[in-house]
Amino acid sequence: MKKFLFIALIFLISSCKEEAKIPKPPTFLRIELPQHNYERYNDDCQYSFLIPTFYKVKPVINNGNKTCHKDIDLGQLNGSLHLSYIKMEEPLSTYVNYVNDKIDEHKIKATAINDKRILRHDAKVYCTFFALEGNVASPFQFYLTDSSNHFVSGVVYFNSTPNYDSLKPTLDYLQVDLDEFIQTFEWK
Contacts 24+ apart (CB under 8 A), 97-100: 99/128, 99/141, 99/143, 99/153
* pLDDT of 65 higher than 70: yes
Q: Give percent above pLDDT 70 in the chain.
A: 84
The dotted CATH code for 35-187 is 3.40.1000
* Domain range annotation of the chain: 35-187
Q: How does the average pLDDT of the chain come out, rounded?
A: 89
**Phi (first) and psi of residue 185, to 5 degrees:** -65, 135
pTM, full prediction: 0.82
